[in-house]
Chains A and B, each alone.
Chain A
Amino acid sequence: MPKYDIVVVGAGNAGMSAALQCQLLGLKTLLIEKHNLPGGAATSFVRGRFEIDPSLHELCDYGPADNPGDVRTMMADYGVKANFIEVGECFRCVSTYRDGTPMDVTMPAGIEAFIDKMEFYVPGSREKMTQLFDLFQEVLDGIAYITASRGNPDKAVLGTTYANMLKTGAYSTQEVFDALELPERCQDILSTYWSYLGVDMEHLAFIHYAAMVHKYTSRGAYILKHTSHELATAMVERFRELGGDVWFNCRAEEFLFRGEHCCGVRTNMGVVDCNYVLANINPDIIYGTMMPKELVPEREKKLSAARDRKIGGRMYTAYFCLDCTAEELGIHDYTIFLPGTADSPTEYDNIMKGMKYNNFSIFNCYNIANPECSPPGTCLCGFTTFGSPVDWNDLKQEDYFRFKEEGIDKLLANLKEKLGFDLSGHIEEIEICSPWTFARYLGVPEGGVYGYEPRDWDGMMARMQMIAYDYPIKGLRPIGAAGPRGDGYAASMICGRLMALNALLDLKKWKEEGGKA
C-alpha cells in the first residue's frame, strides 16, 4: 500500500477542493469517497430520460468573468473547467407580509436593479437599501480580509477599514435591520434568503447573511449546464491530472493514530498510511464513531455538547420530470420561495414542529435557467423544504414511503392553490428524498446539509475568529459545511481550500518538531 502525505476523506465540495489544493501544493494526496461517484451533494441521478441535479439551486459566488467570485477564482486556480450558466433573476417570493398583506415579488440580480425593484414594491426605501448594500460590501471585504489572514487579522486594520463590519458583526440580521430602520416590507422581502442558511432572521448573524445576499445580488447565481455532477467530475478528473489518486467506493471506517497524531485511515479497501487527514465528515460523527474516544479532546467534547445537535437544513425534497413544457404550465420563474409568512422565526418554528405545521417550500423550474436540462417538450421541477426530527426520528419503515409522499402531496396542493401550477397528469418521473435519504447518502447527522446552525454564539464570524482553537487534533481536520464558513457549495469549497492551506502549515510544523514521515 503506498503512503500518502494527505488523505482526503469524502469527495464532497470541501473534499474535492481540499484535494485539489493539496495536490497543487505538491503534497502526495489520496482522495477516497464512499460512493462510486464524486460530489457528495454535488451530484446527479438518472431517471428514465432525465438527469436530475438534486441539490444545487443557486451557486453563490461564481460571478461573471469581469466580476469573479471566489468560486470562479478557485476553479481558475485549480484549472477546473465546467459549463456554468447564469440563473438570471434572484427570486420570486409568494407569501404574506408580516402586516398581513399578500406578497408576490420578483427580485432581479444586480445591485441597482435590486434596489430599484425594492423601491417599486416599497416606495421610499431607496436610501436605506443603498446604505444596506454599502454595508454588505464592507462586510464582504472584511470577511475576505479575515479569511486571507487565516483567522489572525490586524485589529488596527479592522478598526479603520472595516469599522462598519465591526459595528454590525456581532448582531443578528433582525437587529441590524431594526437599527438601520429598514421599512418592514423591505425586511420581509429581504428575509426570503433566510432559508439558504437555515436560521431565522432573529438568530442569523448579520455578517453571514450580508455576505450571501451581496454575492447573489452583485454577482448573480449560477448552476451547471449538465448538473453538479459535471462540476464534481471535472474537479476529480483535474485532481487526477495533477497526479492525485482517487478511490471510489472506499469508505473510511476509522482514523488511526500514532500517539496523538493521526497517521492513517482504515477503509474497506485496506489501511492507508498518511501524515495527515482532511475529513469531509461532520465532527460529531468523527468523534463519536471514527476515532479512539480517549483521543477526543475535552474542548471538542464541550463544543459538541454546546452545539447540542442543532443541525441545520434537514433536507426534504422532491424532483418532478414533467412531460410538458414550463410554458404550458405557466411557469416563468426559476426559483419561487413559498413560505407561509415572511415572519421567519414563525416559519422556523413551524418547520421544527413537523410537516403538519410546515408550510415552507421552495419551488424550482430548472428549464427557466437551463432550457436544455431536459428533453424537448419536457421540463424538470423540484421542491425543497426542511424536515424535522419530530417526523423523521421515530417513523416506522412501513409508514415511510407513504409519509414522504403525503408531505410532497401537500406541497403540490399548495403550489396549485398559490400559483395555479398543476403538475398532476404530467409527472413522468418522480423522486422524493427525505432526511433519511440525505442522512444515508451524505452521512450527515439527521440529513442536515447545513452543518451546525450558524446561530447566535456559533455564527460564521465567531467560528472564523477561532480557527486556531477549533482544530486541536494533530493530523486531522474536519472540513465541510460544519466548518467556519458554513454551508453551501461555495462555503464548503472555501473551507476545503482554507483547511488544506492550514494542513500544509501543520505538516511543516510537525516535521520541524521531528514528526516522522
Chain B
Amino acid sequence: MAKLNVTISADPRIDMMKFATMAKVREEAIQAAPAKEVSGVFPINENAKALHPDYLDLVVDSIIDRGEAQAKTFVLRRKDGAPLPYFRAGQYISLKLPLEGSFVTRSYSLCCSPKAALEGKYAITVRANPGGFAADRLLAGLKVGDPVISSGPQGFFYYEKLRDAKHVVGLAGGSGITPFLSLAEAIRDGVENFSLTLLFGSRDEKNILFREELDEIARVCPKFKVVHVLSEEEKEGFEYGFITAELIKKYAPEGEEFSVYLCGPEAMYRFLKPEIEKLGLPERLFRRKLIDVTKTPWDCEGYPQEARGRSFTILVRQGPQEWTIPASADEPVLVAVERAGIKAPSRCRAGECGWCRSRLLSGTVFIPQDNEMRRWADVHYGYIHPCCSFPTSDLTLEVPGEFF
C-alpha cells in the first residue's frame, strides 16, 4: 500500500493525538448533557400519524335516504366529533364490517368535499346491490349511532396538477358517481383547481344519484358541468344511450388537451375500453378507479376451466396461529379467509393497494390480468394479493396480521 507522504504530519493544524481522545471527547459531550427523560415524540411523526391512522373508530352521525336511486348516504364521524384525516377528493375509505361472524372489507369512495373532514365528517354512499353480501346488509342494518371501523383515506383516483390536463372529462356509471361528487365539491370549495365535465350514465331520470347536488354545483361553479346520460329513457335535456367516444368528443373541450377519469361498474369498463381507445389518448391522460375483482373469473383469459365450481381447502397461517378453512374456486381467496372470521388485512379489493399481500406456500391460484399489479419480486417469490386471486387447488397461505 502506498503511504501518504509527510505533508500531513508536518502540518501544525493536524494533531495526531486527537484520534486517541475521540472517545473521551464524545463521552465528555454526553456527560455534559442533562439526564432528562427522552420524549420520543416528534411533531412530524405526530402529523403523519394523524393524516394516516391505522384505523378510525367512527360512528354513524346521520343517514340520508336517496329514495328511488336506491341508496343511502352515511355520514360518519369520530365519537368525540374531532377532525378526521384530510384527504384528496376522489379517495376512498375501507370499512371493516363485522357481518355474520366475518370481518368483511368494503371500500367506499368519500362522496364529500375534503373540507368536511376538517369539520369531523366523512360521507359515503352505499347503493343497493341485489345478491351482494355487504351493501344490502348495510342498507338494511346500519343505524345512526352504530360503530364503524374504517381505514384512513386511500387510493390514487385524484387530481394531480403535475400530471393531469387542466380539463378532465369524467365518466361515471351508477355508484361510480361518488368520487366525482367529491371532486366536484372540491372544485366548488376551491380545494381543487381544474375544470370537470362529467358524463354520468344512469338507467332513467328517477334513478340518477345525487341529481340535485350535482346540478346545484354546476349552477354555482363554472368549472363544473354535468351531462346526464340515460340508457333506458329518452327525454329532452338528457343524452340517450351509453357513453361512447362520440359523446365524449361532443362534450370534451375543443383544441385543448383533456384527461379522462372513469369510475363505474365492471360492465361499463368493458363497454368503454374500446371507446376510449378510439380517442387515442396517451395513457397518462386516462385514469380509472379500480373496482372490485370480477365475479366471473371463468370469463377471463387464461382461466383454467377445470377449476370452476370446485371446492378446496386452505391452510391459513398468521403469526403463531393456524386454521384450515374451506374455499370455493369461484371466489377470491380473501373471501374464504374473511368468511372464516380471520382478521386479515385488505383494503382496495382490486389488487392495486397490495395491503393483503400474503405468501403462498403451496398450491396455485388464478389472477385476472386486470388485477395483476404485484411487484416483480412478489411474483418471483410467490406472494399473492388474496383479494384478486382465485384458488385453483388446495393452498397453504401465510397472511399478515391486523391492527384493529
Within 8 A of A (CB), among B338-386: 345, 352, 354-357, 373-378, 380-381, 383
- Whether A412 sits at the interface, judged by CB under 8 Å, is yes
B40 touches A288 (CB 8 A): yes
B10 to chain A, nearest CB (A): 9
How far apart sit A459 and B44, CA to CA, in the bound complex (Å)? 25
User: Which A residues from 115 to 148 make CB contacts under 8 A with B?
Assistant: 131, 134-135, 137-138, 141
Known A-B contacts A46-B354, A466-B27; A167 and B50 likewise in contact (beta carbons under 8 Å): no
- In the complex, what residue of chain A is closest to B351 when comparing beta carbons? A46
Q: Which stretch in A58-66, A176-184, A254-262, A473-481 binds the other chain?
A: A176-184
Binding-face segment, A189-197, A299-307, A349-357, A491-499: A299-307
| Nearest-CB residue, chain B, relative to A248 | B400
Name A240-276 residues within 8 Å CB distance of B: 247-251, 267-270
CB A371 to nearest CB in B, in angstroms, measures 15
Partner of B29, one of A47, A176, A457, A469: A457
**Bound CA–CA A457/B22 (angstroms):** 7
B165 to chain A, nearest CB (A): 9
Q: Are B36 and A447 in contact (CB-based, < 8 A)?
A: no
**Is the CB of B132 closer than 8 A to any CB of chain A?**
no
Q: A428-B284, A446-B44 are in contact. Are A167 and B34 (CB under 8 A)?
A: no
Query: Is B2 in the interface zone, CB < 8 Å from A?
Result: yes
A149-190: which residues lie under 8 A (CB-CB) from chain B? Answer: 155, 163-171, 175-176, 178-181
Binds B, one of A89-97, A213-221, A435-443: A435-443
Indicate whether B4 reaches chain A with its CB closer than 8 angstroms. yes
**Residue from A181, A300, A309, A412 in contact with B7 in the complex, judged by beta carbons closer than 8 Å:** A181
Could you tell me if B26 and A466 are in contact, using CB atoms closer than 8 angstroms? yes
Whether B39 lies near A427 (C-beta < 8 A) is no
Count of residues in B whose CB is under 8 Å from the partner chain: 83
- Bound: A168/B11 CA distance, A: 11
Is B22's CB under 8 angstroms from A461's CB? yes
B5, closest chain A residue (CB): A131
B162 contacts A412, C-beta separation under 8 Å? yes
Assess A46 versus B22: contact at CB under 8 Å? Given A141-B1, A305-B36: no
Q: Is the CB of A168 within 8 A of B8?
A: yes
Chain A nearest Cβ from B159, distance in angstroms: 10
Q: Are A293 and B37 in contact (CB under 8 A)?
A: yes
Q: Quick check: is A44 within 8 A (CB to CB) of the other chain?
A: yes
Question: Is B305 part of the binding interface, using a Cβ–Cβ cutoff of 8 Å?
Answer: no
Instruction: Say if the beta carbon of B255 comes within 8 Å of chain A.
Output: no
Main secondary structure of the interface of B (DSSP, over half): loop
B114 within 8 A of A: yes
**A461 cross-chain contacts in B, Cβ below 8 A:** 19, 22
- B34-A437 in contact (CB<8A): no
B133 interface residue, CB < 8 Å from A? no
Quote the shortest CB–CB distance from B60 to chain A (angstroms): 23
Q: Which residues of A contact B162 (CB under 8 A)?
A: 405, 408-409, 412, 424, 427, 430
The 6 closest A-B pairs by CB, nearest first: A288-B40, A249-B400, A170-B18, A428-B284, A440-B48, A306-B33
Interface of A with B (CB < 8 Å)?
Answer: 1-2, 36-37, 44-49, 51, 131, 134-135, 137-138, 141, 155, 163-171, 175-176, 178-181, 226-227, 229-230, 232-234, 237, 247-251, 267-270, 283-290, 293, 296, 298-306, 308-309, 314, 323, 389, 392-395, 397-398, 400-401, 405, 408-409, 412, 424, 426-430, 435-437, 439-440, 443, 445-447, 457-459, 461-463, 465-466, 469
> Can you list 25 pairs linking A and B with CB atoms under 8 Å apart?
A36-B357, A46-B373, A131-B4, A134-B1, A167-B19, A170-B15, A170-B21, A229-B375, A248-B401, A249-B400, A268-B403, A296-B37, A323-B284, A398-B191, A408-B162, A427-B162, A427-B163, A428-B284, A429-B284, A430-B162, A436-B51, A439-B45, A439-B47, A439-B48, A465-B26
